[in-house]
Structure 1
Amino acid sequence: WLETHIWHAKRMKMEDIWGYRLAMQPTEKAFRPSHRAAQHGCIIHDASYLGLIEITGALGPLSDLLLLCCDPQGQPPGAQRYTVGSRALDTHLYSPGQYPLGLACPITIIWKPVDLPNQTVTPKANAQDKPAENNEETRRVEHPSPEPGSKRTVWLMVHPCVFDTAFGIIQSCASLTLARLKETGNTSIEIEIADLRTQLNIFEIMGPKSSQVIKGALSPTAAGQKDDFTSFWSSLGDIQSTGSLAPGMIIGFKVHDPRLKFPPKNAKPSPVDIPHQSSPMKVFPSAALARCEIWGETIRSSLKQPRYKKKDIDDRKAQARRSIRNLIPGQPLAPQRQDDRIPVLLVQRSLGSVQSGTHGWMLIIPAGWSMPFFSSLTFTGSRVGGQRERQTQAFEAGVPYFPRDYPSIPAHGEQISKTADEEEARWKRTPAAKKPNFEKLGTRSPWRPDWEVVLGLKESKSELVPTQREAPGPEHEDLQPSEDVERKDAEDTAMLGKSPWLLRGALLKYMSLVPDFIKEINRLRTRRSESHFDFKDADLLLRSALVPVQLTPCGRGVLKDMSMIYMLEDHECEEAQKHVGSDSEEGGEAVTCDKGAIIGYTTTGNFCLSRGRGHSLGAIAAIKYQALVAQARR
């Protein structure tokens, strides 16, 4: 159970999932108010079920460890912009020695801030003429990162359904890193890995009013605050969207017990000259701004339980109301010396693009303080969402949601199997006259996506029996010991083309030319210290690859989950294009597609409120994607 379980159990539909008893959705049937809250107000989600892995060691080995298991596309986790601790990095975790295969899950990496100062120099002459973020004369003076041998700490935030897998991958990469250091004669390096799942709680506060809610509910302590934080906190209420801030910006500070100022009042933006335009944030990410005491295990242990119960706080409020100076109910209590000071972390969180995405904050607090913070945050008029609302936020932003939109991953297969069993049992209970006859409709796999058949890796043996894999692929194999990881590179070629894998990121740009495609993969594998693929392996890679796609109907209609995606012939496309945009349903005849023409399935589909029409996410075969591009050019 989470610490807020009783509150959610009274107002939400609960289910056992991922080893927790989690809230799936509110008891009210309507979901549009939650969407409006995410787009125009504020919605809160208790994400304390997310797992945290703490890794401690020298900076150099930690950077090498993360490079072995993280996505090499983009900046590495050991880049200075992340190692100083001022920004969080969203990336993906891969099994060692298997890239681009072996995708495990998305992760968030947060480095403990360094002790070196970070200054921002802003000229006073033009400070009022231009926003600080667009001022060309604004310059940052960043001090170099610490020495590679300095001891550092990093947190990895992982989804609970793959926590054990991710923990095993980190252990394997740590063993491999230490083995390589031992070969060079360095035997004094140590790497510590710890499980922090019971030591921290996480809240996701999304929406344009999330900044006002946080400023109204929390009261930072006056002692020890620096100029950067003072400037940040004073302008926090004027932010209309955290999408205007630096991605992954981290702010660390200490707050008083939220119960002292209960009930809270939302902060109101200060008046501006131009309507609907907030004052620009004039604070840049820095290690000094992100520094927080929540990283200390001793501090977290001392705050495991609040010093005062709610009854004690209420007695103090009653005594204050009886005094002459506090006759008005609801006045905040003055913090005393013995009151708790709680360290918290604020992390900027974005889903989708800056213009059309959903933005907010991630609030990380010590364990034992969920209800004091949650009560103050929910009393501000914010809505509370469950798993359905969290999935809807990602769907409306057009980004894949883990694990349902990550085909070919074991976690996705487990969720699909659970959903398929429920749908199949419901279909069998339904009378024959009230349910579709999949055999007559020619539906090959009505409840489970048969990716192997779509890719041509297997043949469908039965109409309604879903195909299963004969042998586990690289993504399903057990983790190998560190001494077997390097030997496994030679075995990857033999496994190519036998199991589906998800082709994502910048690699999609190199699909048209096979030589460039394999060169880019080898370049990325070199960054992970992995062996190269041969040019003949490119066909095997593309034959078993799945490409994530987004689909929008040309006319009316909504694509649901598990919708089949077909590829039309050239003459069928020409006939269909004549009726695109026509509201009449008599414009053309329905096209009957052969079940062998299925090129993929949708993983998530529904009516998209932000687009005002049907929208869906899915995946298709990479070879068929190339054929579609060539067909569009014709």
Structure 2
Amino acid sequence: MDKRSATNSNNNNGKKPGNNNNGKQPGNNKNQKSLNNNQRNKLDRIRNARSIRTQIVASGNTHKHRRGGGNGFKSSGSNNNKRGYNSIERDIFSKDGGLLKVPEFINSRMFEIKQLEYSMKKSAKSSSTRCFQSLPRVMRRRTASHNIKRIPKRMRNRALREMVKGDQHITKGEKLTAPKQHLSKKNLYKLKMSVKILRLITKSKFMKNALPLKYYQTNLPQKFQLRKIMKIMKAHVRASSTTTTPTGGANTSSSISTTFPFQKNTMNNQLGHTDVTGINRLVTGSVELGQLVKSYKYAKRQAVNVWLPTHVWNAKRSHMMNLYGKKICYTPTQKCYKRTHRLGSPQSAQSDGCLIEDTCYMGKCVIESTDPMTNLVKLFKSKNDDLKIKNNNIFVNKETEKLGSIEKLVWIEKPNKLLLILHPSIYEKFFNLFLETFSHEINNLQTLSIHDCQYSIGSINLMGSNALLNLVKTFRSFQGKEESAAKEDIDFEKFVQLGASLRDFQLLKPDFSMSLQIFDPRLLKKPQLPNNINKYLKKDINDLLVDLHNTNVQQASNKNDVLKELCNPLQRYASYKNKSTLKELSKRYRAAVGQNFVGDFQKDVTIPVHLYKNAWGNGFTLLLPYHWVLPLWYQLNKIPRTYHIGLKQIQQLKYEMNVMDFPNDHLDTVAGYLNLVLKSHYSKELWLKKPSSKRLNYEKLKNLHFDDNRIRVGEVGDPFQPDFVFLRFLYFGLKYIVRKYPDLYENEQNVSLILPNQTSGMDLQTNQLDAKTVYDLIVHYNKLHTTVNKNMDFGSPIVAVPFSNSNGSTDNKVDILQFWSQFNSWKLPCTPVSISMVSRGHPTDNARLYRINKQNWDIYWKHYAENDKFNNHGNNNLENLKNNVIVKSQYLPKVQDLIGFVNAGTFNLSVGKGTGTGFILADWNSDAYCDKIGLLRNVGTDDYKLVKYEMVRL
């Protein structure tokens, strides 16, 4: 026996291995705590492992001396038979000083090596992952493991084999019996509505008497009367549908929008697509909007919020929102923040795909002047006091109120006809204001007209390096014919060359635009480049860019017949002529074997489209007839690396490009201010839903401002929004205190937080509100905050950009001594800015912006900024100084140093640091500070960060 076995046997003293309780169970000792089942099982496993290890060591020594029986130990024959196979290996290692003999070792393991080789060959053919697990994330479905219809067709055979091997229940979506013939959606809708109407008639005597006698006076039993009435009504419907003639002629533009319903013999397509255009009026009401609804199943759901053409497709893959009377995609269901940055941002070099968005919710109107002597430019100048367009912004009431910004203005025939694209939040107000302002020219002189095209001209946004390439794959024109060119189309040649060769769209000039005549996108079985693509690439791309740069856009638009067709109701309606149904397209696909394009250049009509470059991003906007948006949308989504986005992703891209988004960042407009109020209410509701132990108490925050240790102020203003109401109260209140008490304070910076001898914030002589300190203003604001919100006119924003007085002074415009009675009607002079972090960290929404006191800047913050520019971690001594609460309180800003708020802020992936956009006071003097540097504090924190300001143009 070896030393380890002898030691183990001596320790055991004849007892079982691992039992140290003197023969007693662990739970028998009264002084010892009893063990539960899990603890007992764990102890048993440890004992068993120790005993097995001891037996292995002992058996190894036994086989080593089985022939000589060293140390007098004699092994049994059964052990020799059991462990004879392993003893060969030990002999191999024991000879020659433990060197391994490869041939003998391989012979001893030959069976295992062959089994390993066989399993490797078998696993190469059968993957461990199932078919539905190898799909990309965007194609995975919840029921794909058992429902074969949730897997792409090209992979269904493999999925079926896997399901059969696993003895799994398979859902193929097929039935053994013949499918039952159901009513169509139209007939089912008519049947349900007729039953509801007849039931209502039977309950109402007045409605029953209104019907002819033959409809309800019958000798049949009561349960058969309803059927007979329904048969009579259906017969009348069939008779009227065959004998009715259309009303109104088709040779006028107004007949397209006013004639309803379109009879079957007046429609130029089987799908029922028409052009819904309002001439000198908005398209409203269920009758006109009913022309957009082609499925009776979903008619009632669109009574309040109209669906966009791609709604059914988007509703399955996105979060939808009810905005501006429409259902709009807010954000995709899947995560897309980094993907949106990589593909859509112009600063990203990783873009290898395309982002698309259905922007049919944008308001579009065509304004036309028929009087050549009084063109549109002269008309707008004559009405500058009521309606003025300046710097892509719309102003009303002598420029005292900003309505909003213009998304795009396209001249069709300058200066007599233009296309205006506006945000839906201001579109209806602008349309009605235009009708009111130019009522004399529209109604009396009839020299001016405006067309409401929000439901007749659709649009799609495309962003990313493959935006033009994807359009080239889906567009076919006369030049796209594979055999020969049926018609010269120079614009299409340029378009194909741009899309196939250009990826950096910043090389194009900002006002780039192009108009094309294309065929139905569905005529392509699969979106791909034309077979004769090489003939378009003969010209150098640099020469093409120079030609496009030297082209006068205005002269080209005046000669552009395609753009004129797109803005003509009759031409848009003509593009729907003989529009193929899905069954007709399937017949073409089956007949055209081996061909990708199944169009007929002689019979198929063309579609007018207009493409222009976005002014703010790395993409384009495509305008086309409203009912051609969905076919193109389906074709674009067939292309790999193409993803859909929503409103949230547009805000993200504009934020990364340092562009103010309308209406979210335009707080000087009614639409922007209302959007701010709604978001703050939503944030506060979420905060109130939390339990009190999980809510941050903003009123009890400490050490936020200078002298805060003397009296606790807490978070200034409403923590759920950029509280410009409080900033206005503070801004004019400080001017009031300095004006009324010149003996106490020289300027606004010297106003104290509290006065030791003051006991009340009331004027004892007049018994009215008064203020001598900053704390008085805060207390009065908290009392008046609820009243101010209730009495506030949400139709007029608080922020004014630019302020009515150019130098920012309010002394000559308002009577500051009338502060308590008139402050609610005064505008706050502000300037839009973009901020970037100088130190580490990133801003959040609603963060507070402060100016830096001149003395504090020279002593502390200047050195902090200089050290932090070269070292992201900051100077160690300076960090220790800043983190010292006693020293830090000396350099904290005062409450009156508050100069603005951050409206939108986070970590910017494009620049690799925190950035944001917001507003600051217009009369803030930054001459005493280095490079316009200020302080930022996020809501609910006491940590200040250095930020740099840059002015932004709205």
TM-score where L is the length of structure 1: 0.73
Secondary structure at 1:579 match in 2: helix
> Matches of 1:417 and 1:433 in 2, distance apart?
27
Rounded to whole Å, the distance in 1 between the matches of 2:488 and 2:538 is 27
Partner of 1:63: 377
Q: Does 1:302 align with 2:587?
A: no
Match of 1:617 in 2: 917
Aligned partners of 1:287, 1:631: CA distance in 2, in Å? 49
What letter is aligned with 1:161?
A: S
One-letter identity of the residue aligned with 1:207: G
Q: Could you tell me which of 685, 688, 695 is aligned with 1:425? A: 685
Equivalence map 1:450-489=2 (5 Å): 450-455=723-728, 456-457=731-732, 461-463=780-782, 465=785, 467-468=788-789, 472=793, 476=795
Matched, 1:94 2:395: yes
Q: 1:172 to 1:27 in 2, by over 3 A?
A: same
SS of 1:368's equivalent in the other structure is helix
Q: What is the CA distance between 1:338 and its match in structure 2? A: 3.0
Distance of 2:648 and 2:504 partners within structure 1: 23
In the other structure, the counterpart of 1:387 is 647
Give the equivalent residue in structure 2 for 1:242: 505
Moved more, 453-462 or 441-450: 453-462
Choose which of 593, 596, 601 in structure 2 pairs with 1:331: 596
What whole-Å deviation, never above 9, does each CA across 1:114-133 have from its counterpart, x for those lacking one?
A: 4xxxxxxxxxxxxxxxxxxx
For residues 209-220 of structure 1, what are the structure 2 equivalents within 5 Å? 209-220=466-477
Where 1:280 maps in the other structure, the secondary structure is helix
Size of the aligned set, in residue pairs, is 512
Choose between structure 1 and 2: higher helix proportion.
2
Match of 2:696 in 1: 436
Distance 1:7 1:228, change over 3 A: closer
**Matched letter for residue 2 of structure 1:** L
Q: Report if aligned partners of 1:562, 1:602 keep a CA contact under 8 Å in 2.
A: yes
Task: State the SS of the aligned residue for 1:308.
Answer: coil
- Counterpart-to-counterpart distance in 1, 2:614 and 2:600: 31
Aligned 8 A contact 1:559 1:615 in 2: yes
Q: Is the 8 A contact 1:239 1:279 kept in 2?
A: no
Q: Conserved in 2, the CA contact under 8 Å of 1:256 and 1:335?
A: no
Deviates more, 1:253-262 or 1:64-73: 64-73
Aligned to 1:53: 365
1:169-568 mapped onto 2 (5 Å cutoff): 169-175=433-439, 188=445, 190-222=447-479, 225-227=488-490, 230-265=493-528, 280-283=545-548, 284=551, 285=553, 286-287=556-557, 290-292=560-562, 293-303=565-575, 307-321=579-593, 326=594, 331-351=596-616, 358-381=617-640, 382-441=642-701, 442-443=714-715, 444-455=717-728, 456-457=731-732, 461-463=780-782, 465=785, 467-468=788-789, 472=793, 476=795, 499-503=798-802, 514=807, 536=812, 544-568=828-852
Q: CA deviation at 1:216?
A: 1.6
- Between the aligned partners of 2:547 and 2:830, the Cα distance in structure 1 is 43
User: Aligned-pair distance for 1:108?
Assistant: 3.7
Bigger fraction of residues in strand: 1
What letter is aligned with 1:451? F
2:403 to 104, 108, 112: 104
Amino acid at match of 2:606: R
- Cα distance in structure 2, aligned partners of 1:287 and 1:273: 24
Higher relative contact order (Cα pairs below 8 Å, separated by 6+ residues):
1
State the alpha-carbon separation in 1 of the partners of residues 856 and 441 from structure 2.
Answer: 55
1:434: how far off?
1.9
Amino acid in the other structure paired with 1:32:
K
Between the aligned partners of 2:630 and 2:477, the Cα distance in structure 1 is: 18
Distance (whole Å) between structure 2 residues aligned to residue 190 and residue 629 of structure 1: 54
Change (3 A) 1:452 1:425: closer
Q: Give the letter aligned to residue 723 of structure 2.
A: D
Cα distance in 2, alignment partners of residues 633 and 393 from structure 1: 27
Structural RMSD (CA): 3.6
| TM-score of the pair, normalised by structure 2 | 0.49
AA in 1 matched with 2:330: M
Residues 551/587 of structure 1: CA separation in 2 closer, same or farther (3 Å cut): farther
Instruction: Specify which of 867, 874, 882 is matched with residue 588 of structure 1.
Output: 882
Which amino acid is the alignment partner of residue 457 of structure 2?
L
The CA deviation at 1:306 is: 6.5
CA contact (8 A) 1:34 1:43 kept: yes
- 2:727 and 2:789 mapped to 1: Cα distance? 13
The aligned counterpart of 1:34 is 340
Q: CA deviation at 1:113?
A: 3.3
Instruction: Give 5+ residue unaligned stretches, structure 2.
Output: 1-306, 346-350, 480-485, 702-713, 734-776, 817-824, 933-954
Which residue identity lines up with residue 153 of structure 1 in the other structure? K
| Closer/same/farther in 2, CA of residues 410 and 536 from structure 1, 3 Å limit | same
Closer/same/farther in 2, CA of residues 287 and 413 from structure 1, 3 Å limit? closer
How far apart in 1 are the matches of 2:528 and 2:827? 57
Give the residue type in structure 2 aligned to 1:447. Answer: F
Instruction: Choose from 926, 931, 952 the match for 1:628.
Output: 926
Judged with a 3 Å threshold, the aligned counterparts in structure 2 of structure 1 residues 609 and 226 are, in CA distance, closer, same or farther, namely same
CA shift for structure 1 position 28 = 1.3
* 1:115-167 CA-partner distances (Å, limit 9, x unpaired): xxxxxxxxxxxxxxxxxxxxxxxxxxxxxx6xx7xxx3222111111222221
SS at match of 2:903: strand
Residue 189 of structure 1: how far off its partner (Å): 5.9
1:613 positional shift: 0.8
Give the Cα–Cα distance (whole angstroms) in 2 for the partners of residues 378 and 250 of structure 1. Answer: 24
Whole-Å Cα distance in 2 between the matches of residues 158 and 380 of structure 1?
30
Distance of aligned partners of 1:619 and 1:195 in 2 relative to their CA distance in 1, 3 Å threshold: same
Which protein is bigger by CA-based radius of gyration? 2
Aligned to 2:861: 576
State how far apart, in whole Å, the 1-side matches of 2:539 and 2:566 are: 39
The code of the aligned residue for 1:64 comes to K
Which sits farther off after the overlay, 213-222 or 340-349? 213-222
The 3 A distance-change label for structure 1 pair 570 and 371 is same
Mapped to 2, the partners of 1:241 and 1:155 lie a distance apart of 28
Alignment partners' CA distance in 1, 2:906 and 2:694: 23
Shift in CA distance, 503/469, structure 1 to aligned 2, threshold 3 Å: farther
Q: CA deviation at 1:423?
A: 0.8
How far did 1:433 drift? 2.5
Aligned partner of residue 333 in structure 1, secondary structure:
coil
Conservation of the 8 A alpha-carbon contact between 2:388 and 2:394: yes
Counterpart contact for 1:95–1:169, Cα < 8 Å: no
* AA in 1 matched with 2:583: K
Describe the shift of the 1:271–1:224 C-alpha distance in structure 2 as closer, same or farther (beyond 3 A).
closer
Distance 1:304 1:334 in 2: 15
Distance 1:609 1:109, change over 3 A: closer
Question: Does 1:164 find its partner at 2:428?
Answer: yes
Equivalent residues of 2:798, 2:827 under 8 A apart: no
* Residues 515 and 608 in structure 2, CA contact (< 8 A), matched pair in contact too: yes
Q: 1:105-144, aligned counterparts within 5 Å?
A: 105-114=404-413
Cα 1:537/1:24, change in 2 over 3 Å: same
Please give the secondary structure, in 2, of the residue aligned with 1:339: coil
Query: SS state of the match for residue 659, structure 2?
Result: coil
Classify the secondary structure of the residue corresponding to 2:837.
Answer: coil
> What is the deviation of 1:207?
1.8
Cα shift at 1:224: 6.0
For residues 600 and 537 of structure 2, what CA distance do their matches in structure 1 show? 30
Q: Partner of 1:369: helix, strand, or coil?
A: helix
